[in-house]
Structures are given as C-alpha cells and as structure tokens.
Amino acid sequence: MHRSKLPFVTLLLVTLASPTAWASALDGRWTGALTCSESVTNRNPGFTVPLDLAISGTSGTSNRSDEQTVETFAYQLAPSGLLDIQSQGRRRTDTDTRWVTRLSGHAHNGTLELKGQMFAGDGKTLVRDKCSASLNRTTSVTVTSAPPATATGHQATHSSTLTHKSFQIKEVAPKTPPKNHAATTPGFGGLPLGEGGALYLPEDWLMGTGQPWHYRTNPRPQAQPVPVRQATPAEAPVIQRAEALMQQIESRVLVLMDQGEIVSITTTGGIRLDSRLLSASMAKTLTALAAGKAVCAGRLNMGQRADSVIPALSGTDLGAATLRDLLMMASGTTEPGERDYVGTTAEETRFHLEGAGNLERLLSTPGQSSAQRGMFSKIKPGERFSYKSRDPYTVAMMLERTVGMPATRWMETQLLVPADAEHSAIFATDRSGYFRGTNDAMRLALIDWIRLAIYIDKERKQDSCFGRFIRDMGSTQIRAPGLVNHMSGYGYFTFTENALTPQSYWAVGYGGQRIGWSTEAGNSRIFMLFSNSADRHMDLVYPIARDWMRLGSKPR
C-alpha cells in the first residue's frame, strides 16, 4: 500500500454488548497512535497515524469514512483482558477490501499496548510485518472539589462534574491596552520592542493566524473536555496574587493546573479557551518532544550526526553536530550577532523561509553551517551553549528526513493527537512545507495548550522511553547562565535551574511566554503564561509559580 493512500485511521468503536465486571476495567476512551513498518512487498516507508478507541463492553463494531477511504472495525475483549481488534478498509472507488489490520494486547498502568500486522485484502498476504499501537486513557477524569486543606495543602476529594465547557474565565483590567506591531520599535534582528526597550510580542502576532502556506492540523471535535476543580483554601491566596499580578504587567492569560485539572484561568480580556495563541520560542520545546518521539520510535538516536540524514550538510561543521548537541543548543556553529539576534538575518528569513529558498538550503549556507572560532580553534559540537534558531531548525530537518512523513504531520500525530487536542493548530513552515521548529512555529488554542501541558506532565511520570526522555529534557544537560533571567541551566530546548522556582523546568518564549512544570516525581502542578511583555517582570512571575508548585510537594 502506498503511504499517500493509507487511511487516516480513527477507531471509534461502540458497544454491542452489555459490559461485564471483568470488561469494565477497559471501558472508556483511549487515544494514541498506530505505527506500522515499511511494506515488505514494495518497500514503501512505514507510517504513523492517530488512533482513537472507545471501549464499552466486550465486543463492538463501527464504521469510519473520509473523502478517500471507508473502514469497518471490530473488537473483542476476552475475560483474560486480551483485546483483539481487526479493521477492514478500502478506497471509496473500490468495492473489495484493500487492507486488513489485526492488533491485540493488554492495558497496563493506564496504557493500552497493542501489536500486530497488516495484510492485503485477502487477509493472508502480509504487507507490513510490524504494527503497534500505544494508547492512553483520555476519558474525562472525575473532577474534584475539596474540603478545607490540611496544613500541607493536601486534601481529600469528592466527585464533581465541572469541565472547561462550562468554565468561566476570570477577567481583570489590563495595565495598558496591548500594542500591535505598528506601535512597537525594531530591536536586534528587527524583533519588536515596547516602552523602555522591553521585549514585546505584539498582539497581532500573539493572536495572529500565520501565513497562507502554513500547515493547518485537522480539528477533532470529539476531544474530551478538560476537567476543572475548585480551588482549595490553601490555593486561594496564590490565585489572588496571580490575579493581582495580571493587572500590573503586560500579560494576557495565566493558567494554574494540578493533577490534569484546570484550577484557575485569569485573562486581561478578549481571550477565550478556543483563542489561538502563538508559541514564540516555546515551539523549540515541542520540537524537542517530537524528536524524543522519533528516538523512542527508532527513527533517530541521540548520538546521530545531522549529516547522516541531511545530505546537504555533508562536510560542514553543522553536519558534525549530533542530535543531542543540537537539542542542547550546542552545535558549535557561528554565534548570533546584532543583525540577526537568533542566528538568522532578516534577508535569510525572507528568502529561505518566506520566499524561493527553503530551510534545508538555508542550513547548508556557510553562514549557517560553519563553526564558531574560539581563541585558538573551532568550537566543537557539544562544547558550549549558544542560543539560536539554527539548532532547532536542524532538528526539525532531521525529523523531515527520518520519520516517514512531513514533520508537521509527525508533530500532529505524535503530540497533538495523544494530547487530545480539539481545535485546528497552525504550524509554521517554509514555502516548501518544511517545519520550522522554532520561534513562531506553533499556534494552538488556549485549551489545547492546556491539554498539551497536561499530557507532557503525565508522560513525564511514565516508566517508558518517552517518559525518560522528558525527564532528561527537564534536567540540566549544559550550563546556560545569563541568557534568561533567573535561569542557569538548559536541558533539551528547555530552561532549568530557575533560582526563583526551584525544582522546575520551563518552555520559554519571547515577550514572556512560559510553561513551567515541576520536576518532583509526584508533583503535577503546572504554570502557564501568555504575554505581550512579561519578560522583564519574571521576578514577580516566578514566585507565584514557585508557591503554586510548592502546594504539590509531598511533606518531607
């Protein structure tokens, strides 16, 4: 089967039998991805597609169709807990079955692992000898409200039914109205500055819709609501301080989460849960996560050189950098200057990312692919941290060359689908369709940023390849003092060693975009901020994040 003709697999299975006691343990909704190896008949590449499975009872069937394909799915759940799934699919122009996929497996610790194979329409001729699916339960978790907290901030909970669908965002008066780009002044590399030369992300950038050629993901209206709970007495003072802070600094929305639930959202007006917000450089963190997925799928390894998969970098200094070097911002290549700030000039951006060139050609130019000279010799890969767009650009191009699909689709299937993202997202690409992987690379609805942050935290706690990658990503891999206030360490496209919020790691974006997670094993507190110009006020922001995360710390 040619990859371009593969169905966009979505399993939505409905019950045909009453659930029994032994079956009810699997009842619920499971989302993840299905991966199959390359074709054994014609060597067509492997693929990964979203998988969405609802189980209720011991057996069921359902139909799925799109513009090109029709599929019928059936499942059977045995008393032992073994789940068997078989799909039969065809193109709309066909009358006979074109492929059959058979999978079986068990659920362990909230993860459903399935393995199997794909066959031709006769059900006998092997087409792909290895198929696997990994799914996590995403059925709405019972939402909790709390009785008075204990002295440590921990408390018992009881059931509620609140979700984001009925949640009312708290609005406060902004310090000043947000500025559009026309009201800012250009700084290093043309990046906008606000009053007093402060870093400023203009409102029309933060809330923009990208370029016409950028990739739009598929909306998923069947996504489950995000649970919400009331704040506890111990949390209330932190939330009150967050609301007061939002009236003092040029920020747009602040979110506090715990245990996969929304506890508080405060905005300065005009932002809804479906409002799409720009990542700025937080896209780098998501590019690192996509690379981690590729490593765990065996498509890349951390010691792999860039030139082993990007032929245009053969013989260049950049080509000698490994995936790990790149994720640490330590490719050893030329330092950014005043004209480019993040390592790419305005002229390079216009030609390669918005014009006739492309990302791969940009990376192969001498200005991008040459090593920085030290006092006596070239800087070697892995030797020194240097923040610039070039390294995440290269990681994004390594994904393009290894995952068997465009990197935009990989991002969608490996991050947004497992996170159960609901709304269409926008991924920035060059005009060739190559994912940029940095800066303005991602625009997600606020509720999907929340879903993604929760998904990352849940995966961090798993004893899995991806869970270990996230834990490494959130720990210091290289020293990075002085670049971002109060941070002195760097993981994989994340900042660490926050002096004002200990035991945390951060996705960081221009102008004050922040997502912070605890590094403590059992702590699920998450802090999120989208801003126009909060970078200069992080001495006020981080203490609130610190006190929020401390409420999730276990008593010592």
Query: Taking 90 as the threshold, does the pLDDT of residue 44 lie above it?
Result: no
Asked if 69 and 210 sit in the same domain, the reply is no
H-run or E-run covering 262: strand 261-267
Give the CATH number for residue 474: 3.40.710
For 266-289, give the secondary structure using H, E and C. EECCCCCCCCEEECCCHHHHHHHH
Asked if 279 and 335 sit in the same domain, the reply is no
Asked if 53 and 8 sit in the same domain, the reply is yes
Q: 132 and 113 in contact (C-beta within 8 Å)?
A: yes
The pLDDT tens digits for 20-38 are: 444 456 777 777 778 888 8
* Domain count within the chain: 3
Q: State the Cα–Cα distance between residues 463 and 539, nearest whole angstrom.
A: 35
Pick from 50-64, 120-134, 432-446: least confident = 50-64
Cα R_g (the chain), whole angstroms: 24
Q: 391 and 329 in contact (C-beta within 8 Å)?
A: yes
Region 499-528: mean pLDDT is 97
Q: Say whether 349 sits in a helix, a strand or coil.
A: helix
Q: Are strands 158-160 and 143-145 parallel, antiparallel or unpaired?
A: antiparallel
Pick from 24-33, 223-232, 315-324: least confident = 24-33
Region 450-478: mean pLDDT is 97
| 357 in a structural domain | yes
Q: At 454, is the pLDDT very low, low, confident or very high (cuts 50, 70, 90)?
A: very high
Q: At 70, is the pLDDT very low, low, confident or very high (cuts 50, 70, 90)?
A: confident
The pLDDT tens digits for 378-400 are: 999 999 999 999 999 999 999 99
Region 270-293: mean pLDDT is 97
Q: Say whether 87 sits in a helix, a strand or coil.
A: strand
Query: Taking 80 as the threshold, does the pLDDT of residue 553 lie above it?
Result: yes
| 360 in a structural domain | yes
Query: Taking 70 as the threshold, does the pLDDT of residue 7 lie above it?
Result: no
Q: State the Cα–Cα distance between residues 26 and 112, nearest whole angstrom.
A: 9
Is 0.85 surpassed by the pTM of this model? no
Q: At 161, is the pLDDT very low, low, confident or very high (cuts 50, 70, 90)?
A: low
pLDDT at residue 80, as a whole number: 76
| 65 in a structural domain | yes
Query: Taking 80 as the threshold, does the pLDDT of residue 98 lie above it?
Result: yes
pLDDT at residue 65, as a whole number: 63
Token representation of residue 417: 């689908």
Range of the domain at 365: 306-395
Asked if 184 and 285 sit in the same domain, the reply is yes
Amino acid at site 500 = L
Pick from 80-94, 170-184, 275-289: least confident = 80-94
Residue ending a domain, choose from 360, 395, 430: 395
Q: DSSP label at 177?
A: P
Token representation of residue 241: 């301080």
Half-sphere exposure of 48 (CA within 13 A, CB side): 27
Asked if 282 and 418 sit in the same domain, the reply is yes
Q: 86 and 73 in contact (C-beta within 8 Å)?
A: yes
| 13 in a structural domain | yes
Dump the DSSP string for 195-231: GGG-B---HHHHT----TTSEEPPP-TTPPPPBB-PP
Residue ending a domain, choose from 137, 172, 194: 137
Q: Which residue has the higher pLDDT, 360 or 175?
A: 360
- Which residues neighbour 464 within 8 Å (Cβ) at sequence distance 6 or greater? 111, 296
| 61 in a structural domain | yes
Q: At 504, is the pLDDT very low, low, confident or very high (cuts 50, 70, 90)?
A: very high
Pick from 16-30, 65-79, 346-360, 452-466: least confident = 16-30
Pick from 140-149, 152-161, 306-315, 411-420: least confident = 140-149
Q: At 141, is the pLDDT very low, low, confident or very high (cuts 50, 70, 90)?
A: very low
Query: Taking 70 as the threshold, does the pLDDT of residue 510 lie above it?
Result: yes
Asked if 53 and 76 sit in the same domain, the reply is yes
Share of residues in the chain with pLDDT > 90 (%): 66
Query: Taking 90 as the threshold, does the pLDDT of residue 45 lie above it?
Result: no
Q: State the Cα–Cα distance between residues 226 and 452, nearest whole angstrom.
A: 11
Q: Say whether 261 sits in a helix, a strand or coil.
A: strand
Report the b/e string of 449-460 with b at 16+ CB within 10 A: bbbbbbbbbbbb
Asked if 10 and 130 sit in the same domain, the reply is yes
Task: Compute the 3-state secondary structure of the chain and give helix, strand, coil in percent, each to the nearest 5.
Answer: 25, 30, 45
Q: DSSP label at 482?
A: T
| 152 in a structural domain | no
Asked if 422 and 545 sit in the same domain, the reply is yes
Q: 55 and 30 in contact (C-beta within 8 Å)?
A: yes
Asked if 390 and 409 sit in the same domain, the reply is no
Q: State the Cα–Cα distance between residues 297 and 291, nearest whole angstrom.
A: 10
Q: At 39, is the pLDDT very low, low, confident or very high (cuts 50, 70, 90)?
A: confident
Pick from 274-278, 329-333, 480-484: least confident = 480-484
| 214 in a structural domain | yes
pLDDT at residue 247, as a whole number: 96
Long-range contacts formed by 406-412: CB under 8 A, 24+ apart: 406/215, 406/433, 406/434, 406/435, 407/290, 407/434, 407/435, 407/437, 408/215, 408/217, 408/433, 408/435, 410/48, 410/290, 410/293, 410/294, 411/286, 411/287, 411/290, 411/435, 411/442, 412/50, 412/217, 412/218
Residue ending a domain, choose from 85, 118, 137: 137
Q: Which residue has the higher pLDDT, 124 or 19?
A: 124
Dump the DSSP string for 522-547: T---EEEEEEEE-GGGHHHHHHHHHH
| 157 in a structural domain | no
Q: At 148, is the pLDDT very low, low, confident or very high (cuts 50, 70, 90)?
A: very low
Q: State the Cα–Cα distance between residues 121 and 100, nearest whole angstrom.
A: 6
pLDDT at residue 436, as a whole number: 94
Region 261-268: mean pLDDT is 97
pLDDT at residue 177, as a whole number: 93
Asked if 462 and 417 sit in the same domain, the reply is yes
Asked if 190 and 264 sit in the same domain, the reply is yes
What mean pLDDT, rounded, does the chain reach?
87
pLDDT at residue 59, as a whole number: 73
Region 107-115: mean pLDDT is 82
- In 56-209 the beta strands, taken as DSSP E runs, fall at 59-65, 69-77, 83-91, 99-108, 111-120, 126-137, 143-145, 158-160, 170-171, 185-186, 192-193
Report the b/e string of 102-116 with b at 16+ CB within 10 A: bbbbebeeebbbbeb
Asked if 411 and 382 sit in the same domain, the reply is no
Q: State the Cα–Cα distance between residues 24 and 311, nearest whole angstrom.
A: 52
- Which residues neighbour 357 within 8 Å (Cβ) at sequence distance 6 or greater? 351, 430
User: Cβ atoms within 10 A of the Cβ of 76, count?
Assistant: 14
For the purposes of burial, counting CB atoms within 10 Å of the CB of 365, is it exposed (0-12), middle (13-18) or buried (19 or more)? Answer: middle
